[in-house]
Chain A
Amino acid sequence: MFAVTIGREIFAQLTVNGLFRGTSYGLLGAGFALILGVTGRFHFSYGFTYTLCAYLAFTLHARGTWAGPFSNGIPFIIAGIIAILATSFVGVGIERFIYRPIAARAGATALLAIFVAALGIGIAGQSLITLLWSQQSMGFYDRGKHVRKVGYHIWKVTYENLDLMQAITSIVLIVAFAVILKFTSLGRQMRATRVNPDLATIIGINSKRIYLTCFFIGTLFCGTAAFWYGLQFAVNPDMGGRPVITAFVVAFLAGTASSPIRIFFTGIGLALVEQWTSMFMETRWTQTAVFVILFLYLVWRSMSGTIFGRHLKHVVTFQWARS
């Protein structure tokens, strides 16, 4: 079980894998943290939007049979952009037509009500996707006509052009978002709503619009991660299950009110740990590593005095720590 001699090449390769994978984790975490942190919605259908985006992109790219210039399908970049934007509007729609009315109705028990509804959307969506497409996993690349995978070898490390493109997109999105959050009026409004939604409303911030914006950006991040994953590997109806948990873990580890940069690096850290553990254990155990990290973190949190939800605005249990 233990690899006694760990080659430096293996270590380097795993590190590079972790860095590339990590940009995706970071993006997922930042999107989820934005939604939970600002709106307080426990958006479990994040996984559904992930799957949906990958399927839309796949269908547009690999199966598009329109006449004219796109008779052989739509170029993958364009297919991706259309799918990501379409999915982002689905995310906005979920907030507008499902979460918002439920929250207004449920009052104090909104967290549970929204979680249940999100669970429902997730499973209904996944079943619908399975019914419309199929249970089989489908490869973009096999059917794609415009994707050219190119491998690079530097020293003894291998990576692909798609890895690079995925990492660059993620970094650009995160940096752009960090800039927006820090320097623009919209960003200030988001941060104000995150700290105190009631007060933000009083000073004239349209918190409903801010919520919708958060869902748009959060789903955009989620969809982008899904698109690259689908392109590099394959699409299948269950593909949203693990990313949603990864997003939760990254967001909670970093803190939902942290800066997107910090969340991004937390995602990279998690991916690195996941990759490095595969040096010591068989690959199938590495997914357990994430859970072990999470568990240790939660044990530490419950033992230390910092349980008053420093970065959890909607802590239900410990509201009394005020005089």
Chain B
Amino acid sequence: MQIWLNYVNQIMIMAALGLSLNLLLGYAGQVSVAHASFGAIGGYTIGYVVTKYNWNIIWALLLGVAFSLVVGGLIALVAMRLSVEYLILMTLAFGNVLLGVFSSLPALGGTYGIIQINNDPHAIHFFGWHMNKPTDWLLPLFVLLAITLAITWRMGESAYGRVLKGIREDVVATRSLGKNTFKVQIMVFSITSALASFAGVMNASWLGVATPSVFGFSLSLTIVAIVIFGGMGNLKGTLIGAVILVGLDPILRRVVKIDQTKSFLIQLMIYGVLLVVLMLVRSVGLIPEGRTLSSFVRRRGAGGRTEMSATTAAKLEPAFTTRKTEGAASQSDRHQKWEQAEVVLEARGISKSFGGIVAAEDLDFVLKKGTITALVGPNGAGKTTVFNLLSGNIIPDSGSVKLRGKDITGRSLDAAARQGLVRSFQDVRLFQRISCLDNVLFGVQQQAGEKLPTLFGRPGIVKQSDKASLDKAMEWLSFVGMQDFANVPAGALSYGQTKLISLARVLSTEAEVLLLDEPASGIDTKWVDNMLDLVLAISAQGRTVCIVEHNLHVVTELADYAYFMELGRITAEGTVDELTSSPRLAAAYFGTV
């Protein structure tokens, strides 16, 4: 009986470790092989303070968790600014050195580790309750699992979790929508390290030992195997994975009758082979991310049609008629409208060079409220670079960018987005594995669920905010006519459709200034007209739009004003008619007159 109880306890500890690693690895896509080492920090902390000073478990626990929170944060602070290889390297070296240091410190028992943690006179105690029987541990370990599950679930399956997945899929796109990914990455690494330490404290106290082998590489590997086997990005899978993989031990020892040392090695071998085979045949694991029976049915039901909803058609009607009636004849009116509109964004003397190549040289231009400005010019003129410079993706060497008089030069991509300047990408950069609706939800600003204190402290507000965000996202999705695709993953769409979702995502930020990079390129004529109506409608709402576009038809239809760029410089400006009537510019653009 006691033996089975021990298995239950072990499953709870492994599940807790697996859940926190899944949040880091499966949701946020951050590879850490030091998860067991953070457990070791907790385990050794309690081992030391209990055997040496006979502390209450709760104080030891708080100390161990605090250690890992700080150490994890420091490691993340350095590693998160680098690419993923460095994080692997960092955590690998950290884990190796930590155990090396622990096993060479006499105070921590050297290579033998700290033993007899839970023996008199230093039994583990919780305000007078001495926990020395396996049954005593059921409740504390259940509390560990419950707390870990509550925290990881809340962080993973919420607006916060959506940002985590965004980091995994595409950091730059996530930042362009106003999310401070750097902060989130450090927080999630730090918190999951602390959770690992929590589990480590409980593991060491339950086993009564904290040794290098208990928290060694085999533990790290077992946790990784549980997460991968259960399914990355799926917490339920991790729970099932822990039960099955820990359950291997009694099966090998009792059913197949293999002795303990051999059984341990065979288990590790099975985990290893399992990882290889899973990667070869089923990398999503037992339960794939986001898969429940109901979502499966809904996905089946989603149609393949793209027709404008009645409301969208109504919204678009004014713009549509304007376009049809005014046509190209109204260029002078447009110019007048542009002249009268107020300046929203002003760029002065922007320059940027990469090595010897001048990408932008002394650029001056303005974007005005309720108008559409176009940047035109041949390939390599530096149009997209201008977007990168404005949005903070690249920091200019000199010059200034002012948004409503406020200097935003050199602000980061996400800070600029929060100030109300949002860009789209030429190559769309949708989050492939995430549904269209969730893609658009990314754009919604000021979501309560994206802030950790609110997420945990004020569930009511988060619920309201989630509902409001969802309505808003659905509204913008309908606006571009893609409401029928709400639950379809973005990766399943055609190119033209991704352009629409990308537009909806940018619109849902409700930013004042929108920089649209080739919104109509690569899509067929019928879709182009659809897109034109949408952009005109946005502009009619009083938003400031700037487009980069090669299609002259699109530019003529949309732009109130245009800047012509060549080799990083603005060489002409005016209405599109004025620009196209210049033979020199036409030659520069088309190559021939």
Contacts and interface: CB of A to CB of B under 8 A. Distances in A.
B272 A312 contact: no
Interface in B460-518: none
Contacts of A117: 275-276, 279-280
Interface in A137-166: none
Interface in B390-438: 393-394, 432
Given A112-B31, A131-B269, A249-B89, A288 B280 contact: no
Contact of A317 (B92, B171, B274): B171
Count chain B CB atoms within 10 A of each CB in A124, A130, A314 and give the residue with the most.
A124
Given A302-B82, A317-B84, A294 B93 contact: yes
B266 A101 contact: no
A1 B308 CA distance: 77
Interface in B96-147: 96-97, 100-101, 104
Nearest to A98: B276
A127 B269 contact: yes
Contacts of B340: none
Interface stretch (B8-16, B36-44, B381-389): B381-389
A167 B100 CA distance: 28
A323 B382 contact: yes
Contact of A298 (B31, B90, B171, B269): B90
Interface in A152-185: none
B96 A119 contact: no
A315 interface: yes
A241 interface: yes
Contact of B217 (A241, A288, A290): A241
A122 interface: yes
Contacts of B394: 321
Given A116-B275, A248-B89, A124 B96 contact: no
A75 B79 CA distance: 47
A242 B273 CA distance: 22
A312 B85 contact: yes
A125 B265 CA distance: 10
Q: Which of B171, B172, B262, B280 has the most CB of A within 10 A?
A: B280
A287 B97 contact: yes
Contact of B82 (A98, A301, A314): A301
Interface residues of A, number: 59
B88 A299 contact: no
Given A117-B280, A298-B78, A298-B79, A252 B86 contact: yes
Given A127-B268, A131-B262, A294-B93, A116 B279 contact: yes
A316 interface: yes
Contacts of B359: 323
B272 A123 contact: yes
B218 interface: yes
Given A252-B86, A287-B97, A302-B78, A105 B280 contact: yes
A2 interface: no
Contact of A106 (B221, B274, B283): B283
Given A116-B224, A127-B265, A320-B393, A291 B276 contact: no
B271 interface: yes
Contacts of A252: 85-86, 89
A320 B172 contact: yes
Most buried by B among A241, A248, A294, A317: A317
A11 interface: no
Interface string A294-323: 110011011000010100101111111101
Given A111-B84, A242-B96, A284-B104, A123 B268 contact: yes
A228 interface: no
Nearest to B83: A315
Given A298-B78, A318-B83, A127 B283 contact: no
B81 interface: yes
Nearest to B218: A123
Contacts of B67: none
B589 interface: no
B2 to A, nearest CB: 28
A80 to B, nearest CB: 27
A28 interface: no
A160 to B, nearest CB: 27
Interface SS, A side:
helix
B94 interface: yes
A323 B265 CA distance: 52
B546 interface: no
A116 B232 CA distance: 12
Contacts of B382: 323
B448 interface: no
B269 A295 contact: no
Interface residues on B, range: 35 or more
A86 B388 CA distance: 52
Interface in A22-39: 36
B179 to A, nearest CB: 15
Contacts of A323: 359, 382, 384-385, 388
Interface in A86-135: 98, 101-102, 105-106, 108-109, 111-117, 119-128, 130-131, 135
A245 interface: yes
A309 B83 contact: yes
Contact of B272 (A101, A114, A120): A120
A288 B96 CA distance: 9
B274 A249 contact: no
A122 B265 contact: no
B241 interface: no
Contacts of A287: 97, 100
B78 A295 contact: yes
B497 to A, nearest CB: 20
A42 interface: yes
Nearest to B172: A320
Contacts of B384: 323
A117 B272 CA distance: 8
Contacts of B283: 102, 105-106, 109, 113
A241 B268 CA distance: 16
A66 interface: no
Contacts of A285: 101, 104
A20 to B, nearest CB: 22
B476 to A, nearest CB: 24
Contacts of B269: 123-124, 127-128, 131
Nearest to B429: A320
B245 interface: no
Given A252-B86, A299-B78, A245 B93 contact: yes
Contacts of B275: 116-117, 119-120
B555 interface: no
B73 interface: no
B33 interface: yes
B280 A101 contact: yes
A301 B89 CA distance: 14
A116 B223 CA distance: 12
Contacts of B225: 120
Contact of A241 (B79, B82, B96, B171): B96
A299 B94 CA distance: 14
A34 B277 CA distance: 26
A122 B215 CA distance: 18
A290 B100 CA distance: 12
Q: What are the nearest 10 A-B pairs in CB distance?
A: A124-B272, A120-B275, A284-B104, A302-B81, A291-B97, A123-B272, A127-B269, A117-B279, A120-B272, A323-B385
Given A128-B269, A252-B86, A315-B85, 4 more contacts: A108-B432, A120-B225, A301-B82, A317-B171
14 contacts: A115-B31, A119-B33, A121-B276, A123-B272, A127-B265, A242-B96, A285-B104, A287-B100, A291-B96, A298-B89, A302-B81, A317-B82, A317-B84, A323-B382
Interface of A: 36, 42, 98, 101-102, 105-106, 108-109, 111-117, 119-128, 130-131, 135, 241-242, 245, 248-249, 252, 284-285, 287-288, 290-291, 294-295, 298-299, 301-302, 307, 309, 312, 314-321, 323
